[in-house]
């Protein structure tokens, strides 16, 4: 087999080079370079407004980059956007769900969008509803779902076509402890089966427990990156590393009336 055909098979899950996104003269993402190895559980961390969601939107083709390059699974974005989207699963920060569909209808629709045969799309939808403990809500409109239920159905939809790469923006936000545990177990199982997961989360304890690699972004730039062992050198927790790295370890000015 020619070397050019082998390259995508061994390419990293995500390869970002000098990525920039400029809004009204200000860089939301400023020269981002990052490599995510295949089969990793990768945490992408940063304070509010650091550029995390903007980066994920560029990775998925929802917004164009101002400059720089993005490759997912060895394929260039946006040139191979359609082929890439067939191989990735997305859980966005704001659930892009169809509120006037039931949970079952939505999953079947997503399955059909990924070219699954109608019978298989129905079968997988039913199985995913059971897996995510939503089987009793299959006939309820998504507009009536709680925030946690919406996150579950969004993750179920991201799984239906067995993607190789998951892009997840705050997937556990608004999910109760039982639902979060279920979702974590499912994601860990996907990684064990060879998938790659790239997620943002403000809950650093979750990232510390799940992820094997992480990068910290601040003001649109990577300020720390490595394996969890490398980032937590010494006795520091990930939270302590994060606070120190983004320059927020100065405490707070106490109000006299709260003392």
Reading the block at residue 17, the tokens are 């080079």
Q: What is the mean pLDDT of residues 26-46?
A: 95
The answer to whether 120 and 160 have CB atoms below 8 angstroms apart is no
Other beta carbons within 10 angstroms of residue 97's beta carbon come to: 18
The answer to whether 17 and 33 have CB atoms below 8 angstroms apart is yes
Tens of pLDDT, residue by residue over 48-101, are 889 999 999 999 888 999 999 999 999 999 999 999 999 999 998 766 789 999
pLDDT of residue 4: 47
Q: How confident is the model at residue 115 (pLDDT cuts 50, 70, 90)?
A: very high
Tens of pLDDT, residue by residue over 223-233, are 999 999 888 87
Q: What is the mean pLDDT of residues 9-28?
A: 91
pLDDT of residue 9: 55
Q: What is the DSSP letter of 136?
A: G
The interaxial angle of helices 103-113 and 147-159, nearest 10 deg, is: 30
User: How confident is the prediction for the chain on average, in pLDDT?
Assistant: 90
The interaxial angle of helices 177-192 and 147-159, nearest 10 deg, is: 10
Reading the block at residue 142, the tokens are 């998504």
pLDDT of residue 40: 96
């Amino acid at each position: 087999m020619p070397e050019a055909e082998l390259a995508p098979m061994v390419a990293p899950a995500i390869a970002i080079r000098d990525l920039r996104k400029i809004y009204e003269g200000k860089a939301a993402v400023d020269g981002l370079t990052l490599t995510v190895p295949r089969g990793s559980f990768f945490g992408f961390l940063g304070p509010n407004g650091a550029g995390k969601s903007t980066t994920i939107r560029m990775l998925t083709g929802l917004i164009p980059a101002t400059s720089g390059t993005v490759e997912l699974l060895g394929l260039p974005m946006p040139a191979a956007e359609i082929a890439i989207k067939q191989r990735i699963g997305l859980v966005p920060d704001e659930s892009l769900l169809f509120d006037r569909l039931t949970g079952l209808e939505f999953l079947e629709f997503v399955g059909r969008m990924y070219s699954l045969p109608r019978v298989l799309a129905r079968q997988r939808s039913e199985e995913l509803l059971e897996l995510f403990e939503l089987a009793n809500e299959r006939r309820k409109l998504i507009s009536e779902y709680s925030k946690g239920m919406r996150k579950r159905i969004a993750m179920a939809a991201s799984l239906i076509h067995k993607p190789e790469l998951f892009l997840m923006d705050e997937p556990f936000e608004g999910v109760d402890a039982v639902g979060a545990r279920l979702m974590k177990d499912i994601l860990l199982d996907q990684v064990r089966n060879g998938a790659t997961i790239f997620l943002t989360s403000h809950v650093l304890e979750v990232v510390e427990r799940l992820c094997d690699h992480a990068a910290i972004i601040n003001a649109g730039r990577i300020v720390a990156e490595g394996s969890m062992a490398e980032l937590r050198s010494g006795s520091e927790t990930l939270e302590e590393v994060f606070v120190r790295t983004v320059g927020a370890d100065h405490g707070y000015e106490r109000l006299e009336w709260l003392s």
